[in-house]
Chain A
Amino acid sequence: MTDRMLVATRKGLISFVRKNGGWSIARTDFPGVAVTAALYDKRDGTLYAMLKHGHFGSKLHRSDDEGRSWAELPAPAFAPDAAGAPALFQVWTLEAGGADEPGRLWAGALPAGLFFSDNRGETWQQVSALWNVPERAKWFGGGYDDAGIHTIAPDPRDSARVFVGISCGGVWETRDSGGSWSLLGDGLIATYMPPEQAGVRESQDPHRVARCAAAPDTMWMQHHNGIFHSTDAGATWSQLKLPGDDFGFAVAAHPKDPRTAWFIPGIKDELRVPRDGALAVTRTRDGGKTWDRLTDGLPQKDAYDLVYRHGLDVDDTGTQLAMGSTTGSLWVSDNAGDGWQLLNAHLPPIYAVRLY
Protein backbone atom coordinates (compact mmCIF):
# COMPACT_ATOMS: atom_id res chain seq x y z
CA MET A 1 0.00 0.00 0.00
CA THR A 2 1.21 3.50 -0.76
CA ASP A 3 2.43 5.75 2.00
CA ARG A 4 2.94 9.06 0.22
CA MET A 5 0.59 11.48 -1.47
CA LEU A 6 0.94 14.70 -3.44
CA VAL A 7 -1.92 17.15 -3.06
CA ALA A 8 -1.88 19.94 -5.65
CA THR A 9 -3.86 22.90 -4.37
CA ARG A 10 -4.75 26.49 -5.12
CA LYS A 11 -2.15 27.55 -2.55
CA GLY A 12 0.75 25.18 -2.98
CA LEU A 13 1.87 21.58 -3.15
CA ILE A 14 1.12 19.72 0.06
CA SER A 15 2.84 16.39 0.58
CA PHE A 16 1.40 13.81 2.94
CA VAL A 17 3.12 10.77 4.39
CA ARG A 18 1.77 7.85 6.34
CA LYS A 19 3.67 6.75 9.40
CA ASN A 20 2.49 4.31 12.01
CA GLY A 21 -0.81 4.06 10.22
CA GLY A 22 -1.61 7.77 10.24
CA TRP A 23 -1.34 10.37 7.50
CA SER A 24 0.15 13.77 8.16
CA ILE A 25 1.56 16.70 6.22
CA ALA A 26 5.26 16.25 5.58
CA ARG A 27 5.98 19.35 3.52
CA THR A 28 4.35 22.32 1.86
CA ASP A 29 6.09 23.62 -1.23
CA PHE A 30 5.37 26.72 -3.32
CA PRO A 31 3.13 28.33 -0.67
CA GLY A 32 0.59 30.69 -2.15
CA VAL A 33 1.07 29.49 -5.71
CA ALA A 34 -1.48 27.38 -7.57
CA VAL A 35 -0.18 23.92 -8.42
CA THR A 36 -2.18 22.66 -11.37
CA ALA A 37 -0.50 19.28 -11.81
CA ALA A 38 1.99 17.12 -9.96
CA LEU A 39 3.71 13.89 -10.81
CA TYR A 40 5.80 11.30 -9.05
CA ASP A 41 7.71 9.44 -11.76
CA LYS A 42 8.08 5.95 -10.41
CA ARG A 43 10.63 5.10 -13.13
CA ASP A 44 13.28 7.25 -11.48
CA GLY A 45 11.77 8.77 -8.34
CA THR A 46 11.58 12.31 -9.70
CA LEU A 47 8.89 14.74 -8.55
CA TYR A 48 7.42 17.35 -10.86
CA ALA A 49 5.12 20.27 -10.09
CA MET A 50 3.39 22.58 -12.56
CA LEU A 51 2.76 25.98 -11.07
CA LYS A 52 0.41 28.66 -12.28
CA HIS A 53 1.32 32.08 -11.03
CA GLY A 54 -1.71 34.31 -11.36
CA HIS A 55 0.34 37.01 -13.02
CA PHE A 56 3.59 35.52 -14.20
CA GLY A 57 2.61 32.42 -16.13
CA SER A 58 2.95 28.67 -15.71
CA LYS A 59 6.23 27.23 -14.50
CA LEU A 60 7.67 23.75 -14.17
CA HIS A 61 9.66 22.68 -11.13
CA ARG A 62 11.47 19.39 -10.59
CA SER A 63 12.88 17.74 -7.52
CA ASP A 64 15.46 14.97 -7.58
CA ASP A 65 15.57 14.58 -3.80
CA GLU A 66 11.97 13.79 -2.85
CA GLY A 67 10.97 17.42 -2.51
CA ARG A 68 13.78 18.69 -0.30
CA SER A 69 14.86 21.01 -3.09
CA TRP A 70 13.27 22.11 -6.35
CA ALA A 71 14.69 23.60 -9.53
CA GLU A 72 12.78 25.55 -12.13
CA LEU A 73 12.90 24.21 -15.69
CA PRO A 74 11.48 25.68 -18.89
CA ALA A 75 7.73 25.15 -19.06
CA PRO A 76 6.07 23.76 -22.16
CA ALA A 77 5.54 26.59 -24.65
CA PHE A 78 3.42 26.95 -27.75
CA ALA A 79 5.37 27.12 -30.97
CA PRO A 80 5.00 30.45 -32.75
CA ASP A 81 2.99 30.39 -35.95
CA ALA A 82 1.85 32.95 -38.47
CA ALA A 83 -1.75 32.73 -37.35
CA GLY A 84 -0.90 33.96 -33.87
CA ALA A 85 -0.05 31.20 -31.44
CA PRO A 86 -1.56 31.19 -27.96
CA ALA A 87 0.31 31.35 -24.70
CA LEU A 88 0.25 28.55 -22.18
CA PHE A 89 -2.50 29.19 -19.64
CA GLN A 90 -1.83 26.15 -17.52
CA VAL A 91 -0.64 22.59 -17.68
CA TRP A 92 -3.67 20.51 -16.76
CA THR A 93 -2.07 17.11 -16.61
CA LEU A 94 1.45 15.76 -16.45
CA GLU A 95 2.15 12.07 -17.13
CA ALA A 96 5.14 9.81 -17.41
CA GLY A 97 5.86 8.00 -20.66
CA GLY A 98 6.26 4.25 -20.88
CA ALA A 99 8.60 2.09 -18.85
CA ASP A 100 10.77 1.74 -21.95
CA GLU A 101 11.03 5.52 -22.40
CA PRO A 102 13.08 6.84 -19.48
CA GLY A 103 12.82 10.60 -19.19
CA ARG A 104 9.77 10.84 -21.47
CA LEU A 105 7.05 13.09 -20.06
CA TRP A 106 3.74 14.20 -21.53
CA ALA A 107 1.99 17.46 -20.66
CA GLY A 108 -1.56 18.41 -21.57
CA ALA A 109 -2.42 22.08 -21.50
CA LEU A 110 -5.04 24.77 -21.58
CA PRO A 111 -5.28 25.81 -24.43
CA ALA A 112 -5.33 22.26 -25.79
CA GLY A 113 -1.69 21.78 -26.68
CA LEU A 114 0.05 18.47 -26.11
CA PHE A 115 3.74 18.60 -25.27
CA PHE A 116 6.46 16.04 -24.64
CA SER A 117 9.93 15.99 -23.16
CA ASP A 118 12.53 13.27 -23.58
CA ASN A 119 14.92 14.61 -20.97
CA ARG A 120 12.97 14.82 -17.73
CA GLY A 121 11.51 18.21 -18.53
CA GLU A 122 14.72 19.99 -19.52
CA THR A 123 13.22 20.85 -22.92
CA TRP A 124 9.74 20.46 -24.40
CA GLN A 125 8.27 20.11 -27.85
CA GLN A 126 4.70 20.67 -28.91
CA VAL A 127 2.99 17.79 -30.70
CA SER A 128 2.13 19.70 -33.84
CA ALA A 129 0.18 16.88 -35.49
CA LEU A 130 -2.56 17.07 -32.86
CA TRP A 131 -2.60 20.87 -32.84
CA ASN A 132 -3.03 20.82 -36.62
CA VAL A 133 -5.93 18.37 -36.94
CA PRO A 134 -8.72 20.09 -38.90
CA GLU A 135 -11.25 19.14 -36.22
CA ARG A 136 -9.54 21.55 -33.80
CA ALA A 137 -11.62 24.30 -35.40
CA LYS A 138 -14.61 22.71 -33.65
CA TRP A 139 -13.06 22.37 -30.21
CA PHE A 140 -14.27 24.75 -27.53
CA GLY A 141 -13.72 25.47 -23.87
CA GLY A 142 -15.38 23.50 -21.09
CA GLY A 143 -15.16 25.47 -17.87
CA TYR A 144 -12.33 27.56 -19.31
CA ASP A 145 -12.06 29.99 -22.20
CA ASP A 146 -10.22 27.45 -24.33
CA ALA A 147 -10.34 23.72 -24.88
CA GLY A 148 -7.82 21.78 -22.83
CA ILE A 149 -6.13 18.39 -22.53
CA HIS A 150 -6.77 16.76 -19.17
CA THR A 151 -6.18 13.07 -19.86
CA ILE A 152 -3.03 11.46 -21.29
CA ALA A 153 -2.94 7.68 -21.03
CA PRO A 154 -0.09 5.81 -22.71
CA ASP A 155 -0.82 2.16 -23.43
CA PRO A 156 1.36 0.10 -21.05
CA ARG A 157 1.72 -2.54 -23.80
CA ASP A 158 2.95 -0.05 -26.40
CA SER A 159 4.38 3.30 -25.35
CA ALA A 160 3.91 4.76 -28.83
CA ARG A 161 0.17 4.33 -28.49
CA VAL A 162 -1.20 7.21 -26.41
CA PHE A 163 -4.80 8.10 -25.63
CA VAL A 164 -5.76 11.73 -25.02
CA GLY A 165 -8.95 13.33 -23.69
CA ILE A 166 -9.91 16.93 -24.46
CA SER A 167 -12.62 19.17 -22.98
CA CYS A 168 -14.23 19.90 -25.33
CA GLY A 169 -12.58 18.16 -28.23
CA GLY A 170 -13.29 14.47 -27.83
CA VAL A 171 -10.91 11.57 -27.38
CA TRP A 172 -7.92 10.89 -29.61
CA GLU A 173 -5.28 8.26 -30.12
CA THR A 174 -1.84 8.16 -31.66
CA ARG A 175 -0.06 4.92 -32.49
CA ASP A 176 3.20 6.57 -33.47
CA SER A 177 4.12 8.64 -30.40
CA GLY A 178 2.20 11.67 -31.63
CA GLY A 179 3.11 11.75 -35.30
CA SER A 180 -0.48 11.15 -36.41
CA TRP A 181 -3.82 11.10 -34.63
CA SER A 182 -7.18 9.40 -34.93
CA LEU A 183 -10.42 10.74 -33.52
CA LEU A 184 -12.16 8.09 -31.41
CA GLY A 185 -15.36 8.15 -29.42
CA ASP A 186 -18.19 6.41 -31.25
CA GLY A 187 -21.18 6.22 -28.97
CA LEU A 188 -20.53 9.36 -26.91
CA ILE A 189 -23.48 11.73 -26.66
CA ALA A 190 -23.41 15.48 -26.00
CA THR A 191 -26.77 16.95 -25.03
CA TYR A 192 -25.30 20.46 -24.88
CA MET A 193 -25.16 20.35 -28.68
CA PRO A 194 -28.10 20.74 -31.05
CA PRO A 195 -29.74 17.30 -31.28
CA GLU A 196 -28.49 16.51 -34.75
CA GLN A 197 -24.90 17.14 -33.58
CA ALA A 198 -25.08 15.22 -30.31
CA GLY A 199 -22.86 12.45 -31.64
CA VAL A 200 -20.20 14.62 -33.27
CA ARG A 201 -17.03 13.12 -31.86
CA GLU A 202 -14.88 16.25 -31.86
CA SER A 203 -17.46 18.14 -29.78
CA GLN A 204 -17.56 15.68 -26.90
CA ASP A 205 -16.66 16.71 -23.37
CA PRO A 206 -14.96 13.77 -21.69
CA HIS A 207 -14.42 15.26 -18.25
CA ARG A 208 -11.85 12.59 -17.43
CA VAL A 209 -10.90 9.15 -18.66
CA ALA A 210 -9.26 6.40 -16.59
CA ARG A 211 -7.61 3.33 -18.06
CA CYS A 212 -7.16 -0.06 -16.39
CA ALA A 213 -3.41 -0.66 -16.20
CA ALA A 214 -3.69 -4.44 -16.43
CA ALA A 215 -6.32 -4.40 -19.18
CA PRO A 216 -5.59 -1.19 -21.07
CA ASP A 217 -8.40 -1.65 -23.57
CA THR A 218 -10.80 -1.02 -20.69
CA MET A 219 -11.51 2.66 -20.12
CA TRP A 220 -13.98 4.49 -17.94
CA MET A 221 -15.15 8.00 -18.75
CA GLN A 222 -16.89 10.63 -16.68
CA HIS A 223 -18.44 12.65 -19.48
CA HIS A 224 -20.35 15.89 -19.18
CA ASN A 225 -23.49 13.92 -19.97
CA GLY A 226 -22.93 10.74 -18.01
CA ILE A 227 -20.70 7.75 -17.50
CA PHE A 228 -19.33 5.77 -20.44
CA HIS A 229 -17.34 2.56 -20.72
CA SER A 230 -15.10 1.24 -23.47
CA THR A 231 -13.49 -2.16 -23.90
CA ASP A 232 -11.71 -1.38 -27.16
CA ALA A 233 -9.31 1.35 -26.01
CA GLY A 234 -11.70 4.19 -26.62
CA ALA A 235 -12.89 3.40 -30.14
CA THR A 236 -16.49 2.76 -29.05
CA TRP A 237 -18.31 3.65 -25.87
CA SER A 238 -21.46 2.51 -24.08
CA GLN A 239 -23.33 4.77 -21.71
CA LEU A 240 -23.90 3.19 -18.31
CA LYS A 241 -27.11 3.84 -16.46
CA LEU A 242 -26.81 4.49 -12.74
CA PRO A 243 -29.53 4.58 -10.13
CA GLY A 244 -28.40 8.04 -8.97
CA ASP A 245 -26.60 11.04 -10.39
CA ASP A 246 -24.21 10.40 -13.23
CA PHE A 247 -22.69 13.87 -13.45
CA GLY A 248 -19.21 14.52 -12.11
CA PHE A 249 -15.63 15.14 -13.07
CA ALA A 250 -13.40 12.47 -11.56
CA VAL A 251 -13.01 8.77 -12.27
CA ALA A 252 -10.53 6.14 -11.10
CA ALA A 253 -10.01 2.74 -12.70
CA HIS A 254 -8.91 -0.27 -10.71
CA PRO A 255 -5.35 -1.01 -11.84
CA LYS A 256 -5.86 -4.78 -11.95
CA ASP A 257 -9.56 -5.51 -12.13
CA PRO A 258 -11.11 -4.19 -15.36
CA ARG A 259 -14.60 -4.51 -13.88
CA THR A 260 -14.01 -1.99 -11.09
CA ALA A 261 -14.11 1.81 -11.20
CA TRP A 262 -15.03 4.73 -8.95
CA PHE A 263 -16.87 7.98 -9.66
CA ILE A 264 -18.03 10.91 -7.52
CA PRO A 265 -21.56 11.98 -8.36
CA GLY A 266 -23.02 15.45 -8.25
CA ILE A 267 -26.21 17.01 -9.44
CA LYS A 268 -25.83 17.67 -13.13
CA ASP A 269 -24.27 20.65 -14.64
CA GLU A 270 -26.49 23.50 -13.48
CA LEU A 271 -25.59 22.75 -9.83
CA ARG A 272 -22.46 20.59 -9.51
CA VAL A 273 -22.84 19.77 -5.83
CA PRO A 274 -23.65 16.53 -3.99
CA ARG A 275 -27.38 15.79 -3.92
CA ASP A 276 -28.98 16.73 -0.58
CA GLY A 277 -25.56 17.79 0.68
CA ALA A 278 -24.54 14.13 1.01
CA LEU A 279 -21.17 13.27 -0.48
CA ALA A 280 -20.81 9.79 -1.95
CA VAL A 281 -18.52 7.73 -4.11
CA THR A 282 -20.12 5.37 -6.60
CA ARG A 283 -18.35 2.14 -7.43
CA THR A 284 -18.99 -0.67 -9.81
CA ARG A 285 -17.29 -4.05 -9.47
CA ASP A 286 -19.04 -5.80 -12.31
CA GLY A 287 -18.24 -3.68 -15.32
CA GLY A 288 -21.03 -1.19 -14.76
CA LYS A 289 -23.99 -3.53 -14.27
CA THR A 290 -24.51 -2.66 -10.62
CA TRP A 291 -23.32 0.20 -8.46
CA ASP A 292 -22.48 0.72 -4.79
CA ARG A 293 -23.12 4.08 -3.19
CA LEU A 294 -20.31 4.47 -0.67
CA THR A 295 -20.83 7.00 2.10
CA ASP A 296 -19.13 5.63 5.24
CA GLY A 297 -16.92 8.40 6.61
CA LEU A 298 -18.16 11.03 4.14
CA PRO A 299 -20.30 14.02 5.16
CA GLN A 300 -23.99 13.30 4.71
CA LYS A 301 -25.37 16.77 5.24
CA ASP A 302 -24.48 20.29 4.20
CA ALA A 303 -21.59 19.17 1.97
CA TYR A 304 -20.76 21.27 -1.07
CA ASP A 305 -17.66 19.32 -1.94
CA LEU A 306 -16.94 18.96 -5.64
CA VAL A 307 -14.05 16.75 -6.73
CA TYR A 308 -12.29 17.97 -9.83
CA ARG A 309 -10.97 15.85 -12.69
CA HIS A 310 -7.68 14.92 -11.04
CA GLY A 311 -8.95 14.97 -7.48
CA LEU A 312 -9.45 11.19 -7.16
CA ASP A 313 -6.68 8.60 -7.24
CA VAL A 314 -6.21 4.91 -6.60
CA ASP A 315 -2.92 3.19 -5.83
CA ASP A 316 -1.30 0.30 -7.66
CA THR A 317 -3.07 -2.27 -5.50
CA GLY A 318 -6.58 -0.97 -6.05
CA THR A 319 -7.32 -0.79 -2.33
CA GLN A 320 -6.01 2.65 -1.33
CA LEU A 321 -7.92 5.67 -2.62
CA ALA A 322 -7.64 9.38 -1.99
CA MET A 323 -9.85 12.25 -2.96
CA GLY A 324 -9.69 16.00 -2.47
CA SER A 325 -12.40 18.57 -3.03
CA THR A 326 -12.77 22.15 -4.12
CA THR A 327 -13.83 22.85 -0.54
CA GLY A 328 -10.40 21.79 0.67
CA SER A 329 -11.40 18.47 2.19
CA LEU A 330 -9.15 15.45 1.78
CA TRP A 331 -10.16 11.83 2.40
CA VAL A 332 -8.44 8.47 2.09
CA SER A 333 -9.79 4.95 1.99
CA ASP A 334 -7.85 1.80 2.84
CA ASN A 335 -10.55 -0.58 1.67
CA ALA A 336 -11.38 0.30 -1.91
CA GLY A 337 -13.86 2.96 -0.91
CA ASP A 338 -15.96 1.03 1.58
CA GLY A 339 -14.93 3.49 4.29
CA TRP A 340 -13.29 6.89 4.21
CA GLN A 341 -11.19 8.86 6.66
CA LEU A 342 -11.12 12.65 6.62
CA LEU A 343 -7.52 13.86 6.80
CA ASN A 344 -8.15 17.59 6.65
CA ALA A 345 -11.19 19.78 6.00
CA HIS A 346 -9.34 23.06 5.78
CA LEU A 347 -6.95 22.77 2.88
CA PRO A 348 -7.00 25.16 -0.07
CA PRO A 349 -9.16 24.12 -3.03
CA ILE A 350 -7.68 20.85 -4.28
CA TYR A 351 -6.89 20.35 -7.96
CA ALA A 352 -5.20 16.96 -7.92
CA VAL A 353 -4.18 14.12 -5.62
CA ARG A 354 -1.58 11.49 -6.40
CA LEU A 355 -0.78 8.44 -4.29
CA TYR A 356 2.64 6.87 -4.60
Chain B
Amino acid sequence: MAEVHFTSWLRQVVPDGPLRAEGATVGDALGALFSERPHVRGYVLDEQGRLRKHVCIFADGVRLPHQVALGHGIRRESTLYVMQALSGG
Protein backbone atom coordinates (compact mmCIF):
# COMPACT_ATOMS: atom_id res chain seq x y z
CA MET B 1 0.00 0.00 0.00
CA ALA B 2 1.19 3.49 -0.79
CA GLU B 3 2.26 5.66 2.08
CA VAL B 4 0.50 9.01 2.19
CA HIS B 5 2.04 11.88 4.13
CA PHE B 6 0.19 15.09 4.84
CA THR B 7 1.57 18.55 5.37
CA SER B 8 1.93 19.50 9.01
CA TRP B 9 -0.63 22.23 8.29
CA LEU B 10 -3.22 19.44 8.29
CA ARG B 11 -2.10 17.85 11.55
CA GLN B 12 -5.41 18.68 13.18
CA VAL B 13 -7.26 16.94 10.36
CA VAL B 14 -4.88 14.00 10.01
CA PRO B 15 -3.15 13.81 13.38
CA ASP B 16 -1.88 10.27 12.92
CA GLY B 17 -0.23 10.40 9.51
CA PRO B 18 1.37 9.02 7.47
CA LEU B 19 -1.47 6.78 6.37
CA ARG B 20 -1.54 3.79 4.06
CA ALA B 21 -3.88 3.50 1.11
CA GLU B 22 -4.45 1.17 -1.80
CA GLY B 23 -4.91 2.36 -5.36
CA ALA B 24 -3.58 2.29 -8.90
CA THR B 25 -3.56 6.08 -9.13
CA VAL B 26 -3.13 8.98 -6.75
CA GLY B 27 -6.87 9.62 -7.00
CA ASP B 28 -7.71 6.01 -6.23
CA ALA B 29 -5.44 5.93 -3.20
CA LEU B 30 -6.80 9.20 -1.87
CA GLY B 31 -10.35 8.02 -2.56
CA ALA B 32 -9.75 4.89 -0.49
CA LEU B 33 -8.36 7.01 2.28
CA PHE B 34 -11.32 9.42 2.15
CA SER B 35 -13.80 6.57 2.36
CA GLU B 36 -12.29 5.74 5.75
CA ARG B 37 -11.95 9.41 6.77
CA PRO B 38 -14.59 11.39 4.96
CA HIS B 39 -13.77 14.68 6.71
CA VAL B 40 -10.31 14.78 5.10
CA ARG B 41 -11.74 14.87 1.59
CA GLY B 42 -12.87 18.49 1.64
CA TYR B 43 -9.40 19.67 2.62
CA VAL B 44 -7.77 18.08 -0.43
CA LEU B 45 -10.55 18.10 -3.04
CA ASP B 46 -13.23 20.68 -3.72
CA GLU B 47 -16.92 19.76 -3.75
CA GLN B 48 -16.69 18.87 -7.43
CA GLY B 49 -13.96 16.33 -6.75
CA ARG B 50 -11.15 18.43 -8.21
CA LEU B 51 -7.80 18.75 -6.50
CA ARG B 52 -7.90 22.07 -4.66
CA LYS B 53 -6.13 24.83 -6.53
CA HIS B 54 -3.50 25.40 -3.86
CA VAL B 55 -2.84 21.79 -2.91
CA CYS B 56 0.04 19.98 -4.57
CA ILE B 57 0.98 16.33 -4.54
CA PHE B 58 4.37 14.73 -4.76
CA ALA B 59 4.66 11.10 -5.84
CA ASP B 60 7.97 9.37 -5.21
CA GLY B 61 9.78 12.66 -5.04
CA VAL B 62 8.23 14.26 -8.10
CA ARG B 63 5.84 17.19 -7.88
CA LEU B 64 2.89 16.22 -10.06
CA PRO B 65 1.40 18.70 -12.53
CA HIS B 66 -1.82 19.90 -10.94
CA GLN B 67 -4.17 18.96 -13.78
CA VAL B 68 -3.05 15.34 -13.99
CA ALA B 69 -2.10 14.67 -10.39
CA LEU B 70 -5.13 12.57 -9.45
CA GLY B 71 -4.76 10.34 -12.52
CA HIS B 72 -1.05 9.73 -11.98
CA GLY B 73 -0.24 6.03 -11.72
CA ILE B 74 1.46 4.81 -8.57
CA ARG B 75 3.02 1.60 -7.31
CA ARG B 76 2.21 -0.35 -4.18
CA GLU B 77 5.33 1.00 -2.52
CA SER B 78 4.89 4.60 -3.66
CA THR B 79 5.24 7.48 -1.26
CA LEU B 80 2.88 10.41 -1.63
CA TYR B 81 3.05 13.82 -0.01
CA VAL B 82 -0.04 16.03 0.10
CA MET B 83 1.32 19.54 0.59
CA GLN B 84 0.16 23.12 0.57
CA ALA B 85 1.18 24.86 -2.66
CA LEU B 86 2.87 28.12 -1.79
CA SER B 87 0.78 29.79 -4.47
CA GLY B 88 -1.96 29.71 -1.85
CA GLY B 89 -0.14 32.16 0.39
Compute how far the CA of A77 lies from the CA of B42 in the bound complex, rounded to whole angstroms.
10
Give chain A's interface residue range (CB within 8 Å of chain B): 10 to 19
For residue A109, give the distance in angstroms from its CB to the closest CB of chain B.
Answer: 11
- Residues on the B chain within 8 Å of A80, using CB: 47-48
Most buried by B among A75, A80, A87, A88: A87
CB pair A77 B55 closer than 8 Å:
no
Stretch at the interface among A49-57, A127-135, A303-311, A327-335: A49-57
Instruction: Please tell me if A137 contacts chain B, counting CB pairs below 8 Å.
Output: no
Instruction: Please tell me if B88 contacts chain A, counting CB pairs below 8 Å.
Output: yes
Give chain B's interface residue range (CB within 8 Å of chain A): 10 to 19
Query: Looking at the complex, which one of A75, A84, A85, A86 makes contact with B42 (CB distance below 8 Å)?
Result: A75
Instruction: Please tell me if A72 contacts chain B, counting CB pairs below 8 Å.
Output: yes
Most buried by B among A53, A55, A72, A86: A55
- Residues on the A chain within 8 Å of B50, using CB: 87
Compute how far the CA of A108 lies from the CA of B84 in the bound complex, rounded to whole angstroms.
27
Q: Which residue of A lies closest to B86 (CB)?
A: A55
CB pair B43 A72 closer than 8 Å:
no
Q: Which residue of B lies closest to A76 (CB)?
A: B47
- List which B16-50 residues lie within 8 A (CB) of chain A: 39, 42-44, 46-48, 50
Query: Looking at the complex, which one of B44, B48, B88 makes contact with A87 (CB distance below 8 Å)?
Result: B48
- Residues on the B chain within 8 Å of A285, using CB: none
Compute how far the CA of A74 lies from the CA of B48 in the bound complex, rounded to whole angstroms.
14
- List which B45-82 residues lie within 8 A (CB) of chain A: 46-48, 50, 52, 54-55
Given the interface pairs A78-B47, A80-B48, A87-B47, the reply to whether A54 lies near B54 with Cβ below 8 Å is yes
Query: Looking at the complex, which one of B9, B46, B85, B89 makes contact with A57 (CB distance below 8 Å)?
Result: B46
CB pair B48 A55 closer than 8 Å:
no
Instruction: Please tell me if B10 contacts chain A, counting CB pairs below 8 Å.
Output: yes
For residue A190, give the distance in angstroms from its CB to the closest CB of chain B.
Answer: 30
- List which A79-126 residues lie within 8 A (CB) of chain B: 80, 84-88
CB pair B48 A56 closer than 8 Å:
no
- Residues on the A chain within 8 Å of B52, using CB: 55-57, 87
Compute how far the CA of A74 lies from the CA of B46 in the bound complex, rounded to whole angstroms.
12
CB pair A72 B48 closer than 8 Å:
no
Q: Which residue of B lies closest to A88 (CB)?
A: B47
Instruction: Please tell me if A59 contacts chain B, counting CB pairs below 8 Å.
Output: yes
CB pair B42 A55 closer than 8 Å:
no
For residue A199, give the distance in angstroms from its CB to the closest CB of chain B.
Answer: 36
- Residues on the A chain within 8 Å of B42, using CB: 56-57, 59, 74-75
Given the interface pairs A55-B54, A55-B55, the reply to whether A78 lies near B89 with Cβ below 8 Å is no
- Residues on the B chain within 8 Å of A56, using CB: 9-10, 13, 42-44, 52, 55, 84
* 6 closest A-B pairs by CB: A87-B46, A77-B47, A55-B88, A56-B43, A55-B84, A55-B54
A55-B84, A56-B52, A88-B46 are known; give 20 further A-B pairs, CB within 8 A: A54-B54, A54-B88, A55-B52, A55-B85, A55-B89, A56-B13, A57-B42, A57-B43, A57-B46, A57-B52, A72-B39, A74-B42, A75-B42, A78-B48, A80-B48, A84-B48, A85-B48, A87-B47, A87-B50, A87-B52
20 pairs across A/B with beta carbons < 8 Å? Answer: A55-B52, A55-B55, A55-B88, A56-B9, A56-B13, A56-B42, A56-B44, A56-B52, A56-B55, A56-B84, A57-B52, A72-B39, A74-B42, A78-B48, A80-B48, A84-B48, A87-B47, A87-B48, A87-B50, A88-B46
> Which A residues contact B (CB, under 8 angstroms)?
53-57, 59, 72, 74-75, 77-78, 80, 84-88
